[in-house]
Structure 1
Amino acid sequence: MSTILANACISGQSDSHLAPLSECETFGCRLHPNIIEPLKILADAAKKQGFKLKVFSGFRSFNAQMSIWNAKSCGKRAVLSADETVIPHGSLQGWDLVQAILRWSALPGASRHHWGTDIDIIDAQAINSDYNVQLTQKETQEGGVFEEFHRWLTPWLEDNPDVGFVRPYQTPTNADDNAFGIAPEPWHLSYAPAAKIFEEQFDLDFLAQIIAGSDILLKNEILENLPEIYNRFIRVSG
């Protein structure tokens, strides 16, 4: 694909940059074409160790991300603190609520999942069919259902940098917990060679336009603080 990307692709309003569904069948979700072969390498490596890599979330459209955002804004979905406890609905308002949501959920139009280069992965071998995956740090840590998978995955990623996967949310983006930085997400992998192109062409002015024209909740607070949101919750290193 061209290295000149349409804003609609970067913001999740178009899926024209993704591989055809037939090419993504192995993983059950739409993906950027350049991630498919590296992901097969990772899945094969996991299989040799007794794991069954499953892409829990791949491409997510602007509207899908806005549905998550609005549900958290109005209390239909839980908003979590840094230690993954539920923040009672109504205890935070306005800008404080925006920051709390951004700890675990990307702003619509600015999610890396819009690009198809980023995925959330789990070990399907470790759970029963009725298990409700939460995508929490507790699941990946000692005693967690995906502990063994992540104990293997971390050194594998370090030992195989040429495959191209990184964890963009490996460490907190802000050391001051009161500042509501992005929480680490060890399950979130980014195919760096492709994601870098989207990062470089991200347009904050365009994001402001689509937020202003959308039905997103907390719109005024978002627009008033958009430069700070970009610096703390959108721009990442690694």
Structure 2
Amino acid sequence: MKQKGKIFLFLLLSWTVNSSFLRIPQFEKADLLGDIDPSRHRDFDKVRSKYCNKESYLREEVYDAFKDMWAAAQADGISLTIISATRNRSYQKGIWNRKWLSFGGDESDRAERILQYSSMPGTSRHHWGTDLDLNALENSYFESGEGAQIYAWLQAHAADFGFYQPYTRFNPYRDAGYREEKWHWSYFPTAARIQRAYRLEIDYSQLKGFMGDTYAEKLDVINNYVMGVAAWPDKAPY
């Protein structure tokens, strides 16, 4: 009986340890809403200057995947530079409020115009540490010359490393949300889990404290913008 008890205890401990590794990570509301300091967050790493043009942070697994993609691009003569990565809610509030003050016209129309390319604080994928902007912030850059070569390489190879373009042109699947952003790439394996958690955990009572915040619910930004992303490419390995 003692021997059986030891075997049972060993199996129980083994299951406990293994299940702790297999458990899907849980995300705090602060992670979902961007109420974090990525420089002090245990799941984030600082990006080396060779990969970015300013101080940047990403989740560890996202950074590892980007480094692999960067190396593959370099081998093909393609240069990728992160120009924006994690932005917390406070940073995004500054962007939003500046635009709110500079955009004229009716408030509802003003909110919709800002939302063409900029997120309301608390709703940006850049809060999550999974998304990054590459090389330039204009679609026109990626439509000719070096930019077109970079974009073609990303379309062909980014999915091999877990990255995809969440904001494509509108289509029957993606008929709401931000306009196309050829510079914005997201690490699907982590971002998809965070997006599902966001749908379950966040409501409009938590999207307050910025100019025009009443329009978050009026424009249904959770469904139309947070969830309004492209489908994951069929060819991807995930």
TM-score (normalised: structure 2): 0.75
Equivalent position of 1:78 in the other structure: none
| 1:190 matches 2:194 | no
Equivalent position of 1:168 in the other structure: 166
Equivalent position of 1:141 in the other structure: 143
User: 2:68 and 2:28 mapped to 1: Cα distance?
Assistant: 29
TM-score (normalised: structure 1): 0.75
Question: In the comparison of the two structures, how many residue pairs are matched?
Answer: 201
Equivalent position of 2:109 in the other structure: 96
Asked if 2 retains the 8 angstrom alpha-carbon contact of 1:31 and 1:116, the reply is yes
User: 2:45 and 2:68 mapped to 1: Cα distance?
Assistant: 20
Amino acid at match of 1:37: D
Which ranges of structure 1 fall in alignment gaps of 5 or more residues? 76-88, 123-132
Greater RCO (CA < 8 Å, at least 6 residues apart): 1
Amino acid at match of 2:35: Q
Asked if 2 retains the 8 angstrom alpha-carbon contact of 1:35 and 1:191, the reply is yes
The share of aligned pairs that are identical, in percent, is 25
Distance 1:147 1:237, change over 3 A: closer
Equivalent position of 2:30 in the other structure: 8
Equivalent position of 2:204 in the other structure: 208
Distance 1:170 1:104, change over 3 A: same
User: 1:61 and 1:104 mapped to 2: Cα distance?
Assistant: 17
| 1:220 matches 2:220 | no
User: 2:56 and 2:114 mapped to 1: Cα distance?
Assistant: 25
- 1:205 is displaced (CA, Å) by 6.7
User: 1:20 and 1:4 mapped to 2: Cα distance?
Assistant: 19
Which ranges of structure 2 fall in alignment gaps of 5 or more residues? 1-20, 232-238
- 1:180 is displaced (CA, Å) by 7.4
User: 1:175 and 1:194 mapped to 2: Cα distance?
Assistant: 21
User: 1:170 and 1:9 mapped to 2: Cα distance?
Assistant: 25
Q: How does 1:1-238 map to 2 (within 5 A)?
A: 3-14=25-36, 15=38, 16=41, 18-21=43-46, 24-26=47-49, 27=51, 28-75=55-102, 89-90=103-104, 92-122=105-135, 133=136, 135-142=137-144, 146-157=147-158, 161-172=159-170, 181-203=177-199, 206-212=202-208, 214=209, 216-225=210-219, 228-235=220-227, 236-238=229-231
* RMSD, aligned α-carbons: 2.6
